[in-house]
A and B are shown apart, each in its own frame.
Chain A
Amino acid sequence: MKLGPVLQSTAKVNVELEGFLSDELKQAARFWVGKEAGSYNKEKCIAALTQAMNGDDATRRVQTALSEKEQQVLAIFTRYGPTVSGGVLTAEMYARGFVQSPLEDKASQGSYRSYYERKKTDLIHRLSEKLVLVGNSYDLYHSSSYTCSYPRLSLHPALMKAVKPAAPLPWSASRVCPEAVGTERRSSAEVALDLWRVTAALRRMGAWATVKGESPSKATRARMRKEVGLCDAEKDPLSPIDPESLFYELLHGIGLLNFGDKPSWIHEQALERHLQQPPATQAWHWVRAWLHMSLWQDGIGVVPDRDSDYAFVRIEPAKLAHARELLAWALSRVAHASNCWLDLETFLRDLWCASHKNAIDFYCDGFSWNPEFEMARKKEQYPAGKDRMLAFWFAGEAVWAANAIMVTLVTLGLVERGQTAGGKIRPCFRLTELGRVVFGAPEIEAVQKPEARFLTVQPNLDIVAYLESADARQVCTLNRFAAGAPRATGPVQTFALRRESLYAALESGMTLDEVHGFLAEHGKTELPANVNRMLSEWAVRRESLVLRTKVALALGPAETQTRSRALNGNVFLLPAMTVKVAAKEFTGWTILDHEAKPERTWTTDELGSLSTNGGHSISQIRLACIADRTATGWQITQKSVARARVSGMTADHILEWLRGHLTAEVPALLEVAVRNWAGRQGVKLSQALLLRIVQPQAKEALLHSATFRPFLAGHIPPEWFLIREDHLSEVRELLERLGFTIGDSLDPPPLGAVQNTAKDSPAAIL
């Protein structure tokens, strides 16, 4: 797959002619249709424009009716378009010399030129008037001449093939570094492995808690952190904050996560397709996802979907997307220049100038890494003017840009970072080979390399992988059948061949031959004989036990079936079929759907005497498992339940069968008995002496009395006391001595009756 420019828009453009004023349509129609359109009314203009725009003549019209410069402007749109964001369009217009800033425009300094005068000569305005470029007319009206910037615009879809895409613009750096020291870079394999690990952690969760914006909740982030544990900003300021969430948002942005009521929230097939793409294609998608990632921000980490009105904790998402686009635009130009080390501060100064000074503009501070730019340190010393503005930009937005380049894009394997050599140490960077391909697309293409031997299998079943020599696809394949060491980082990592890891790979569709082939193809040494033997043994062991689901079974004479396999004299395994097909093909047979609810044919009493009216083999086998046969039917007994327990059944399992097959509810007493027989519940029974005191004050006094304490065996709230058997007479004596009237009998109310304990009760009853 040939990659397009990383900033290329794929959004479909719809031109709604009805929304334009009559005069605007007339002006456009003069270009698309001809001078005669000047006399058309609105409806006629729309009809004529629709016909011309959809006709085959559109390309010729552009080539003959537009000036060379206008066609060059269109070439920007055919490179990035059909839609180009305002920031990129403005930067391109300046970089290609199609427009000058009012301060640099000498003609405007000498005499006052009205807004309308400037608008007349502006190429973008002229093309918009012809409806060759379309966009929000309000934005277009309020941009351009005063602010020297353009809004987001689209090229009319009919003209996408009218001009060739513009050639790339190489970056002209004010200063390059001859060499760099302390350099760091990550291979695409390392990045893909991180992505894979985050996916594996999410897969283990099945479904996970999210907050608004489908961002992971705090608990989900903590779990990802615990299970994956990538190097983060706390350990190294040049690592991203919350790196697992960065990869989560990449997965989200690429469209590999599903949300809703699906059993798994990972789009497994799309993930598989993504991981099997060439490394540059994968990285191209990572960058596209990063461009629009709003809830994980460079140098800040995870941010909420809504910001506080008073204390900002995040960059406003639209401004961040705009800033990332401009940075990607600059890096695309860097990709087309010679591959030198760029001084970070100088590059950002050049970017500020190229993006026309105010293009990356937002308020935020507190980034995880602050390079302490020289200009930012001296910002208060500059007098009002361009340098002071730049110095303050270096103290704010440029710190974000530094984090994006030196942390995020390094983490994604697109940028290599280092420090300038010599006395004054300053951060510098350059694009990696992968970065040049991604940002330099479509002109720069990946060089096809021969498959590298990047691993060594050791006799102890460990695999040492050299990720610098591997690509993303290879390392993901390796991770399918060999477990990576948890929390491993760096270019050399160890994987372990385990029975469970091979089993998981075979279950996911890999074959043993593929595993052997992969190890042989990428191994620096021959596969040790014991490892070969172990792999074969594990695979054979898996083959010895097969669980088949969703099959059809014929229990009876099924000679007519051609595609069947005999399992026994009278049992045949058939291809899967629906109940409807089964009923049609097997007339006269009892059809049992194992996914349907069981047949309700059992009846029972409270004591487990059970009868059945009919019943198929499943019903009969289940009955035989939990009950004993009697002359009249079946009986669930302690013995039958004990027998079921020996074969591993639990009380819940037995009750599940009863609930499934009984025509009525399971009697409560039988349920208790089943639970008791299954050994879950016990009771204690003995005689007890009870004292009942209804008056709250008297009850509290007795409860806390030291005199009574030796005679009491317990308290049953709210009003019952257990009396020790051998102290009954002492208690009676004490109560009488203290003036209590002792009733003759407890006379408890019947079960379930509502009682008013305070009314008509003696003070104490013993």
Chain B
Amino acid sequence: MTATTEILDSLLPLLQPDGPELHVNAALLEVAEPALLAELAADPRIRRYLLARLSDTVVLVDPGHARDLESALLDADHTPKVLRGDLE
């Protein structure tokens, strides 16, 4: 386990469902590096809209708060690329 993963574990738990789950109409935040995710998770203005980690670079957004997260990211001077329902 890397140091960043340890930090991430403390800031944002990994999602571990009891059984197989399929989430539809979900929102995800993907980052280029785990360090960036740690930076975001440490910012309470952004963390409040992040539900749980799916990996060290992907987070599940709290249902119903994708727009709030987008606004919070922009307010915090980030420029997220917003995509809708595709795999590209």
Q: In the complex, which residues of chain B have a beta carbon less than 8 angstroms from the beta carbon of A682?
A: none
Nearest CB in chain A: distance from B73 CB, A: 7
In the bound complex, what is the Cα–Cα distance between A595 and B82 (angstroms)? 18
Report yes or no: A546 in contact with B81, Cβ–Cβ below 8 A. yes
Secondary structure call for the B interface: mixed
Report yes or no: B48 in contact with A647, Cβ–Cβ below 8 A. yes
Q: In the complex, which residues of chain B have a beta carbon less than 8 angstroms from the beta carbon of A624?
A: 13
Q: In the complex, which residues of chain A have a beta carbon less than 8 angstroms from the beta carbon of B78?
A: 545
Q: Which of the residues B33, B85, B87 comes within 8 Å of A549, measured between beta carbons?
A: B85
Report yes or no: A593 in contact with B54, Cβ–Cβ below 8 A. no
Report yes or no: A592 in contact with B24, Cβ–Cβ below 8 A. yes
Report yes or no: B28 in contact with A550, Cβ–Cβ below 8 A. no
In the bound complex, what is the Cα–Cα distance between A384 and B21 (angstroms)? 93
In the bound complex, what is the Cα–Cα distance between A546 and B81 (angstroms)? 5
Q: Is B79 an interface residue (CB 8 A)?
A: yes
> Contacts A594-B26, A616-B21 given: A544-B31 contact, CB under 8 Å?
yes
Report yes or no: B24 in contact with A545, Cβ–Cβ below 8 A. no
Q: Is A688 an interface residue (CB 8 A)?
A: no
Report yes or no: B48 in contact with A653, Cβ–Cβ below 8 A. yes
In the bound complex, what is the Cα–Cα distance between A544 and B32 (angstroms)? 5
Within A557-603, the residues touching B (CB, 8 Å) are: 557, 563-565, 567-568, 571, 573-579, 582, 586, 588-595, 598
> Contacts A507-B82, A545-B80, A575-B87 given: A551-B21 contact, CB under 8 Å?
no
Q: In the complex, which residues of chain B have a beta carbon less than 8 angstroms from the beta carbon of A503?
A: 79
Within A534-565, the residues touching B (CB, 8 Å) are: 538, 541-557, 563-565
Secondary structure call for the A interface: mixed
Give the interface residue-count category, chain B.
35 or more
Within B31-72, the residues touching A (CB, 8 Å) are: 31-33, 36, 43-48, 51-52, 54-55, 58, 60-61, 63-64, 66, 69-70
Q: In the complex, which residues of chain B have a beta carbon less than 8 angstroms from the beta carbon of A618?
A: 51, 63
In the bound complex, what is the Cα–Cα distance between A250 and B28 (angstroms)? 41
In the bound complex, what is the Cα–Cα distance between A499 and B74 (angstroms)? 11
Report yes or no: B22 in contact with A586, Cβ–Cβ below 8 A. yes
Q: Is B2 an interface residue (CB 8 A)?
A: no
Nearest CB in chain A: distance from B8 CB, A: 13
Report yes or no: B82 in contact with A547, Cβ–Cβ below 8 A. yes
Return the chain B residue nearest A622 by Cβ.
Answer: B51
Report yes or no: A542 in contact with B20, Cβ–Cβ below 8 A. no
In the bound complex, what is the Cα–Cα distance between A578 and B44 (angstroms)? 33
Nearest CB in chain A: distance from B77 CB, A: 9
Contact flags A262-286 to B (C-beta < 8 A → 1, else 0): 0000000000000000000000000
Report yes or no: B85 in contact with A575, Cβ–Cβ below 8 A. yes
Q: Which of the residues B25, B43, B47 comes within 8 Å of A550, measured between beta carbons?
A: B25
Nearest CB in chain A: distance from B13 CB, A: 7
In the bound complex, what is the Cα–Cα distance between A494 and B42 (angstroms)? 39
Report yes or no: A555 in contact with B24, Cβ–Cβ below 8 A. no
Give the interface residue-count category, chain A.
35 or more
Nearest CB in chain B: distance from A541 CB, A: 6
> Contacts A542-B81, A555-B17, A563-B87 given: A582-B44 contact, CB under 8 Å?
no
Nearest CB in chain B: distance from A684 CB, A: 29
In the bound complex, what is the Cα–Cα distance between A762 and B40 (angstroms)? 67
In the bound complex, what is the Cα–Cα distance between A319 and B58 (angstroms)? 64
Report yes or no: A553 in contact with B54, Cβ–Cβ below 8 A. yes
Q: Is A617 an interface residue (CB 8 A)?
A: yes
Q: In the complex, which residues of chain A have a beta carbon less than 8 angstroms from the beta carbon of B82?
A: 507, 546-547, 549
In the bound complex, what is the Cα–Cα distance between A551 and B87 (angstroms)? 8
Report yes or no: A553 in contact with B23, Cβ–Cβ below 8 A. yes
Q: In the complex, which residues of chain A have a beta carbon less than 8 angstroms from the beta carbon of B15?
A: 555, 571, 617, 621
Q: Is B1 an interface residue (CB 8 A)?
A: no
Return the chain A residue nearest B48 by Cβ.
Answer: A648
Q: In the complex, which residues of chain A have a beta carbon less than 8 angstroms from the beta carbon of B44?
A: 646-648
Q: In the complex, which residues of chain A have a beta carbon less than 8 angstroms from the beta carbon of B25?
A: 550-552, 576, 593-595
Q: In the complex, which residues of chain A have a beta carbon less than 8 angstroms from the beta carbon of B83?
A: 546-549
Report yes or no: B81 in contact with A577, Cβ–Cβ below 8 A. no
In the bound complex, what is the Cα–Cα distance between A549 and B45 (angstroms)? 20
A-B pairs with lowest CB-CB distance, top 3: A556-B20, A648-B44, A648-B48
Known: A552-B26, A594-B27. 9 other contacts (CB 8 A): A545-B36, A545-B80, A547-B81, A549-B66, A552-B22, A555-B15, A565-B87, A616-B17, A618-B63
15 contacts between A and B (CB under 8 A): A542-B80, A546-B83, A547-B69, A547-B81, A548-B29, A550-B26, A551-B26, A551-B27, A553-B28, A555-B20, A555-B22, A556-B20, A568-B58, A589-B22, A616-B17
B residues apposed to A, CB below 8 Å: 11, 13, 15-33, 36, 43-48, 51-52, 54-55, 58, 60-61, 63-64, 66, 69-70, 73, 78-87
